[in-house]
Structure formats: structure tokens, C-alpha cells
Amino acid sequence: MTVARAPFTLYRKTTLILDAIKFHESLFALPFAYTGMLLAAGGLPTLRQFVWITVAMVSARTVGMAANRIIDRHIDARNARNMVRHLPSGKLKLTDMMALTGVALVVFFLAAWQLNTLALVLAPVAAAYLILYPYTKRFTWAANLLLGWALAIAPSAAWIGVRGSLSWEPVLLSLAVALWAGSFDILYHTQDRDFHRQEGLHSVAERFGIFFAFRLARTLDAMAVVVLLALGILIGLAWPYYIGLLIAAGMLVYKHRLVSPTDISRLGISFFRINAYVSTSVFVGAALAIFL
């Protein structure tokens, strides 16, 4: 019976770990990383580059999410919305998450090493940012914006993975991602404003109020669209890119119609999925613009 239960136990723990770090949400940032990859290659990269860029992106996100769960576990235990997370609720042990972080970190460095020298040199910088970011909510309201830059690493990192150098094109794409992701994080944490005030934590909503948070989020999304439009024009991308961007812009408008300063009840799964639709629309548009 012990032998028979071992595979089930391993499967169960793996499922819990993947759920704890929201592994499926890798879809949010991967399309933007792939956009940077295609632009860098001017088409399809080599299979080797594609595989290691994918491994690097997924492992880097795993490092960030696992570290976040570890660092914030005591805060999550006091937050009614987050106390059901896997560490506070006891579904997973601290050692489980620490082991995951260590393994993901090794895999990330391995992937960077397999890509090129610059990727390997910058990998510790990216990892440090992803690990240290969760601490920022303890001392600055700009933590929401700094989360945006954590996701914004992906497009520039993918570009470096292909070319072994960095230029203005991926930086512009990363800026758009930072604005887009920062907007989402601002809205997401409006539901924790009262808790943040009680705990002495910081966010845009806690510092400036929910109405201002919504206005800033809309402004950041509009700026993200403008930056993406400028990127397409400056690079000279063909018309499918602008169709994809138009769809993404429509999804962002829809996102802001789902919630309001007086009704954040729909900050749920459907709201999360919009992020995947936005990034995927831009990626598909860019891919068609490159290949057609």
C-alpha cells in the first residue's frame, strides 16, 4: 500500500505546488516574451533558443512566485482573502516551497547559461529583483509599479536570449508590459486596501484611495497601448500587428468596465483571463506581421 500510494502522494504534492504558484498564469507574460523573441530573431528563432527561452521564463516566474509565497506567508495568514493559500493553511510545508525555489533558481541559471554570456551575467540580477520585490510593499506604495517591472523583464530577456545584446526595441516593449502589469496590480490590490492600512503595508490604493487607483490604472493601460503603437510604427510592423493591438486595447477597455471604484466584486478568474487575452493578442498580431 505504501508503494502504491507513493505516486499518488507525489502527484498530489506536485498539483498543490503548481496551484500555489499559479503556474497556469505563466500564460500572462509568456506571449510578451515570445513577442520579444520573434522581433529579435526577425522571424523564428532556433529550436534551441525557443526551448531555453521558454525554460528560462517559466523557471524565473516560478522563482518569483515561490519566493513571494515564502516571504509573505505570515502576512497572508492574517489576510482573510489569502489565509487559504497553501503555506498559511498548511497544505504545503515551508520546506516544499523553499525546495521549489532552489530547483527553479538552478534551472533558470542553467537556461541562461545555455543561451549566451550576457543572459548568464544578467540572470542573477533578474533573480534578485524577483526575489526581493515582495519586500517593497512594506515600505513604498510604488510596489504595484515595481511588480509591473518584474513582468517586464521577460521581453528584454527573450531578446537577449536570441541576440546576446540589448537595444531600444525590447526596452520599449518592456515599458509597455510594465505599464500594463502595473495597472492590473493596482486594481488587484484595491481589495486589500483596508488590510494594508491595518498592517502598515503600502499600495497605490492604500496611499491615494481607490478612486485615484482606478484613474491611475486606466492611465497606465492607455499609456501601454500608446507605447505598443509607437513600437509598431518605429519598427515598421505590418498591419496584422495593429489588428492585434486593437483587440488588446478592446480587452483593456472591457477590463475596466468589469470593475469600478464602487464595485470590485468581479476581480476574479474572468478578470485574470483578460490579461492572457491582451498579451496573446499582441503576440499573435506581431507574429502575423512578421510572417505574412
Domain ranges of the chain: 25-291
What's the whole-number mean pLDDT along residues 175-187? 95
Does the structural domain 25-291 have CATH classification 2.40.30.10?
no
Q: What does the pLDDT read at residue 237?
A: 96
- As a whole number of angstroms, the distance between CA 88 and CA 128 comes to 24
Q: What does the pLDDT read at residue 10?
A: 65
Confidence of residue 1 (pLDDT cuts 50, 70, 90): very low
Confidence of residue 5 (pLDDT cuts 50, 70, 90): low
Burial of 100 (0-12, 13-18, 19+ CB in 10 A): buried
Cβ atoms of 86 and 92 within 8 Å: the answer is: yes
Helix intervals (H) in the chain: 2-20, 26-41, 47-71, 73-78, 86-89, 94-115, 117-132, 143-163, 168-188, 193-199, 204-208, 210-235, 239-258, 269-291
- Residue-wise pLDDT for 191-226, tens only, equals 999 999 999 999 999 999 999 999 999 999 999 999
What's the whole-number mean pLDDT along residues 74-89? 89
Cβ atoms of 228 and 182 within 8 Å: the answer is: no
- Residue-wise pLDDT for 94-151, tens only, equals 998 999 999 999 999 999 999 999 999 999 999 999 999 999 999 999 999 999 999 9
**Which position has the grid cell 466584486?**
265
- As a whole number of angstroms, the distance between CA 246 and CA 257 comes to 17
Q: What does the pLDDT read at residue 80?
A: 87
Residue-averaged pLDDT of the chain: 91
**Which position has the grid cell 507574429?**
287
Confidence of residue 3 (pLDDT cuts 50, 70, 90): very low
Q: What does the pLDDT read at residue 275?
A: 85
Among 16-25, 181-190, 212-221, which stretch is predicted with the lowest mean pLDDT? 16-25
User: Considering Cα of 50, then 53, then 57, then 58, what sign does the dihedral take?
Assistant: positive
First to last CA, the chain: 57
Res. 250: pLDDT tops 80: yes
What's the whole-number mean pLDDT along residues 283-289? 97
- As a whole number of angstroms, the distance between CA 131 and CA 111 comes to 18
Cα 10 to the chain's mean position, in Å?
Answer: 27
Q: What does the pLDDT read at residue 27?
A: 65
- As a whole number of angstroms, the distance between CA 183 and CA 69 comes to 21
pTM comes to: 0.92
Res. 11: pLDDT tops 90: no
Q: What does the pLDDT read at residue 276?
A: 86
